[in-house]
Structure 1
Amino acid sequence: MARIAVIGAGMGALAAAARLAVAGHRVTVYERTGTYGGALRRFERDGFSFDTGPGLLPLPAVWRDLFVKTGKEPLERCVELVQVDPSSRHLFADGTEAVLPNASRAGVVGALDEALGPGAGQRWGDFLVRAREAWDRTRRPLLEEPLWPDWRVLAEREPYPAVPHKRLLRTRRAGTLAEIGAWELRDARLAALLESHALAHGLDPRTAPASAAVLPYMEHAFGTWYVRGGLRELARAVYERCLARRVEFRFDTEVTAVREKDGRAAGVELADGAVDEAEFVVAGVAPGVLDRLTAGTAVRGADDVPARPGAASRLAVLLALRGARPEGAAHRTVVHAPDREAELDALFGGTGAAVRPTVTVLRPDDPALIPDADHEAAVLTATVPAGTSGSEAWADQLIAAAGRAVPGLRDRLLWHEVRTPADVAEVTGAAGGAVPAPALAAAGGRLLRPANGTRTGGLFTVGGWSHPGGGLPHAGMSGALVAGLIVEGPEFRGSQ
């Protein structure tokens, strides 16, 4: 039985802690803030309750597996999972609208044909078939296995089977998500639908590899889910599972250094000067924080995937509304930007201007979030550059865009709260509030994350800034991978 120090109480760190405790280790989690869950936080005011991080749960099987492996009580006994149907409503720039059912290829094909014209649904359906090939080729190495030592194979090989496209007497294949939209989907609205999945993860579809097709495929294949009471309830359930497995938590406790002895991690040093010894240290922190904790020790080598910082963050506007939620209102509506190129230039071109962005409107049908049936709680989110200031200007743009999804929105508005990149930075420690994207193949390795093991023996990294990248499913798998590497050693090859 080893003593294990876990730095941070984000979802990946909690997943690792629970699995390691079940394996018989003594696990202590050190969290510099006063609570658990990383970005899965909650804001409450006047009887209203809001998720301030992710609001929907993709691929819940990852978390079901955690609960199966760490105790007899399954996930569904700890939280109430609801499949969101319709999966999403899309309001496009030209005024057309599409409502897409959850996890139904035939239903989506029919809905897109009806909304966008004959043939649109078939093109999207054919795209999903190709996206499945990319998923099948990358699922294990990018989600279920430790990062390959020869990770450059993943960096160089594009797994998406792009359709040959003749252009100016040349045959080309789509290498980016934007090229898939232009050459294979051949409809600006389908392209916007495709690109919105990349944008939600802070990726520029003009440079995101074609393998990013797995993002909409995951939603299509495994559905979109909501946790009653908000996704903070998932964090609570995982935290309580850790407590049940006798994980010790020390909140409001900042780790200032990882102690090293004879080339191995030997414990952690705390802000008050205390030193806690440990045989293993698991760091669930952003790259800049890890560098500070290991000052003078090169835990990444020249042959490792570079720990590239994220470039995008998230802005959320929390709306308290008078009046009941209309019956039949979609849980999620995506209001697409009127000018996609202007939006992408503002987000990724360095201008940072508060243009009219793509806005996701979440309107859960959940009595736990409101003071009574005569009110509604809604959350607006948009991708913004990391370090964005002038949040009220951005917030006004989000509210204006959301008016298309919620008629009479401004008249119904009681008050609103804004959660900025600075708030994300405060919670996660990531510079500028950057949010890591999921690991993706190709693109020269730009979207791969460093391996969970480091060049310092006994020191591992977990969470969105290490393999397999950002997102709730990836966080859960990150915890599983780290636990496997510690319990089984370097021969561990992932879940079977």
Structure 2
Amino acid sequence: MARIAVIGAGAGAMAAAARLSVAGHRVTVYERSKTHGGSLGRYARDGFVFDTGPGLLHLPAVYRDLFVKTGKEPLERCLTLTQVDPASRHLFADGTTVSLPNASRAGVVGALDRVLGDGAGARWGEFLDRAGTAWDRSRRPLLEEPLHEDRRALGRDPYPAVRRRRLLRSPLVAGTVAEIGAWELTDPRLAALLDGYALSYGLDPRRAPAAAALLPYMEETFGSWYVAGGMRALADAVYERCLARKVEFVFGAEAVRVTEKGGRVAGIELADGRGVEADHVVLGARPAPGLVPVRGEALGGARESPVPGRFLVLLSLRGAREPGTAHRTVVHAQDPAAEQEAVFGGRTAERPTVTVLRPDDPATRPDEEHEAVTLMVTVAPHGPVDWTDAALRERFADSVIDQAARAVPGLRERMLHREVRSPAETWADTGAEGGSVPAPALAGAEGAYLHAGNRTPLPGLYLAGGWSHPGGGLAHAGMSGALVAGLVVEGDGFRGSR
């Protein structure tokens, strides 16, 4: 039985902790804050309850597998998962509105054809076919296996872009998300739809490789799911599973250094000066300078910076949620190019893309005559933008509400209270520098969108969570926990789940 110290109590770290404890190890989690969950936070006021992190779950099979492998009670016995339908409603800059059904390729194609016309649905369906090929080519090495030392295979883009002949010139081949929109989808609304997927994950459509087509493919193939009581309930369920498997938690314990002896991990040092001996250390946070005795470039992480964060406006509304209201509505930017220049240039966009989340969940509101609504925007991190500037926060919140009002009738008149959460709060709550939110790993771009491997050059030190392979997002974080557990239990011979 090995002694294992886990730094951080985010979803990926807790997934690793539960699996390692079941394997017979003595696991202790050290968390700098007063609670578990990492980005899966919660804000409550006067009977209104809001998630402050992800609003939906994709690829729930990752957490079903975690619960199957760590106990007798399956995931659905511990919480209630519901597929949202429609999966999303989209309001484009020209006023066109389309609702896309959940996990139905034919339904999505039909909806796009009816609303956008001119073969739009067929073009989107053909694009998803190509995205499916990219999924088949990269799924295992990108998501289900530890990151190989030889990353050349993942440096090549798996998306089979359409080759368009040009007279006496080389053919056009889409290499980025934006180029897929312009050259393959052609309709600016379809391009905005694809750009919106990338932007929601913190990726710049102008630079993200075509392999980012995996993101809409995963959502539209495997569906979008909501956890009753809010997504925080998933963090609670994983935490309770850890406790049931005898994982120990120490809160208010900030790790400031991973110690080594004889060329391998020896334990961790806490901010209060205490030393903790450990045979293995699992770091469930972004490796900060001075924390790990390994240079950042040696970990092999993604090179793109700065990484965007999330700006939230949490609205307590009077009045009942209208029947048939979509759980998720995306109000697309009036000028997508200007928005991308702002977000990835360290500024605020004037009329940004806003995701409006309106869960039909009694647990989020005081009664049926009120509604809790979350507005979410991808923004530049704290640093390039000073998100502690009160006037800037309020101005930007007003612009976000103005955008959302296009999708929510009488929004301003219904407001009882609004709470603003910026990357500055994310930084304070989670310790993620700048309040940045990691994106999923992507193949292509010569490996620029890969994250640090779960196994590090320092024997005994492993990385879990969104800042490590296979990257950000709840499903990806859960996968990282499974990969770390496999590497610790089976050693270097571990090649991923079969």
Into which bin does the TM-score normalised by the smaller protein fall? over 0.9
1:244-323 equivalence runs, <5 A: 244-287=244-287, 289=288, 291-294=289-292, 297-298=293-294, 302=298, 304-305=300-301, 309-323=305-319
* CA separation of 1:249 and 1:63: change in aligned 2, threshold 3 A: same
User: Contact 2:300–2:451 (CA<8 Å) still a contact in 1?
Assistant: no
Compared with structure 1, are the counterparts of its residues 317 and 303 closer, same or farther at alpha carbon in structure 2 (3 Å cutoff)?
closer
Asked if the contact 1:310–1:437 (Cα under 8 Å) also holds between the matched residues in 2, the reply is: no
Q: Secondary structure at the match of 1:147?
A: coil
Structure 1 contact 310–435 (Cα < 8 Å) conserved: no
Aligned counterpart, 1:344: 340
Distance 1:31 1:117 in 2: 52
Q: Counterparts in 2 of 1:144-223, with a 5 A limit?
A: 144-155=144-155, 157-167=156-166, 169-170=168-169, 171-223=171-223
| Cα displacement (A) at 1:258 | 1.2
Residues in 2 aligned to 1:209 and 1:298: alpha-carbon distance in whole angstroms: 29
Query: Would you say 1:379 and 2:374 are equivalent positions?
Result: yes
* 1:427 CA drift (Å): 2.1
Partners of 2:28 and 2:305 lie apart in 1 by: 28
Partner of 1:122: 122
Match of 1:63 in 2: 63
User: Residue type of the partner of 2:329?
Assistant: T
1:303 CA displacement? 8.4
One-letter identity of the residue aligned with 2:333:
A
Partner of 1:238: 238
Q: In the alignment, residue 327 of structure 2 is paired with which amino acid? A: H
The structure 1 residue matched to 2:436, chosen from 434, 437, 443, is 434
C-alpha distance in 2 between matches for 1:125 and 1:44:
41
Q: After superposition, what is the alpha-carbon deviation per residue over 1:50-109, rounded to whole angstroms, capped at 9, x for unaligned?
A: 000001001100000000000110000001000000011000000111011011111111
Question: Once superposed, what is the RMSD of the aligned Cα atoms?
Answer: 1.3
Shift of residue 494, structure 1, vs aligned partner: 0.3
For residues 436 and 272 of structure 2, the distance between their equivalents in structure 1, rounded to whole angstroms, comes to: 28
Name the structure 1 match of 2:328: 332
- Give SS of 1:490's match: helix
- In the superposition, relative to structure 1, how do residues 238 and 303 fare at CA in structure 2: closer, same or farther (>3 Å)? closer
Q: Secondary structure at the match of 2:63?
A: helix
Q: 1:310, CA displacement in angstroms? A: 4.6
Give per-residue Cα distances to partners, 1:456-491, cap 9 Å, x unaligned.
Answer: 110111111111110111000000000000000011
Q: Give the drift of 1:118.
A: 3.3
What CA deviation, in whole Å up to 9, does each residue of 1:328-378 have, x standing for no partner?
00100000001111111111134x034110000000000000001100000
Query: What SS class does the counterpart of residue 377 from structure 2 fall into?
Result: strand
Percentage identity across paired residues of the two chains: 66
- Letter of the 2:317 counterpart: L
TM-score by length of 1: 0.97
**Partners of 1:268 and 1:116 in 2: CA distance:** 57
Counterpart for residue 95 of structure 1: 95
- Tell me the distance in 2 between the aligned counterparts of 1:169 and 1:231: 54
Question: 1-side partners of 2:240 and 2:227: how far apart?
Answer: 16
Alpha-carbon separation, structure 1, partners of 2:371 and 2:300: 48
Q: Give 3-state SS (helix, strand or coil) of 1:216's partner.
A: helix
The Cα of 1:307 is off from its aligned counterpart by 6.1
The Cα offsets for residues 132-175 of structure 1, whole Å up to 9 and x where unpaired, read as 000111111111000011013311x1100011123464311100
Shift in Å, 1:268 = 1.2
Q: Describe how 1:362-377 pairs up with structure 2 within 5 A.
A: 362-377=357-372
Q: Residues 400 and 306 (structure 1 numbering): CA distance in 2 closer, same or farther, change over 3 Å?
A: closer
Aligned length: 490
Q: 1:35 corresponds to which residue?
A: 35
Q: Aligned pair in 2 of structure 1 residues 192, 168: CA closer, same or farther (>3 Å)?
A: farther
Aligned position for 2:11 = 11
Give the distance between the partners of 1:375 and 1:182, measured in 2 at CA: 42
Contact 1:301-1:455 at 8 Å conserved across structures:
no
- SS of 2:493 mapped into structure 1: coil
Instruction: Please give the secondary structure, in 2, of the residue aligned with 1:19.
Output: helix
Cα distance in 1 for partners of 2:356, 2:168 equals 44
For 1:448, the aligned partner's letter is L
Matches within 5 A, 1:348-427: 348-350=344-346, 352-387=347-382, 388=385, 389=387, 390-427=392-429
Q: Within 1, Cα distance between the matches of 2:412 and 2:207?
A: 36
Q: State the distance in 2 between where 1:367 and 1:304 align.
A: 45
Structure 1 unaligned residues grouped into runs of 5+: none
| 1:454 aligned residue (433, 453, 456) | 456
Whichever residue aligns with residue 63 of structure 1, its letter is Y
Seen in structure 2, the aligned counterparts of structure 1 residues 417 and 409 have a Cα distance that, compared at 3 Å, is same
Displacement of 1:228:
0.4
Instruction: Name the SS of the counterpart of 1:467 in structure 2.
Output: coil
Structure 1 residues 302, 457: closer, same or farther in 2, change over 3 A? closer
The equivalent of 1:490 in structure 2 is 492
Q: SS state of the match for residue 418, structure 1?
A: strand
- Any conservation in 1 of the 2:10–2:465 contact (CA below 8 Å)? yes
3-state DSSP class of the match of 1:489? Answer: helix
Quick check: 474-483 or 271-280, which moved more? 271-280
Would the alpha carbon gap of residues 34 and 76 (structure 1) be closer, same or farther in structure 2, given more than 3 Å must change? same
Q: Tell me, in whole angstroms, the C-alpha distance in 2 between the residues paired with 1:452 and 1:307.
A: 17
The DSSP-based 3-state class of the residue aligned with 2:121 is helix
Give the aligned partner of residue 26 of structure 1: 26
Alpha-carbon distance in structure 2 between the residues aligned to 1:428 and 1:208 = 26
Q: Which structure 2 residue ranges, 5 or more long, are not aligned? A: none
CA deviation after TM superposition for structure 1 residue 292, in Å: 2.0
Query: Please, what TM-score do these two structures have when normalized by structure 2?
Result: 0.96
Residues 243-266 of structure 1 show CA distances to partners (whole Å, capped at 9, x for unaligned) of 000000000111121121101111
Counterparts of 2:302 and 2:377, CA distance in 1: 27
Shift of 1:428: 2.1
2:361 partner amino acid: D
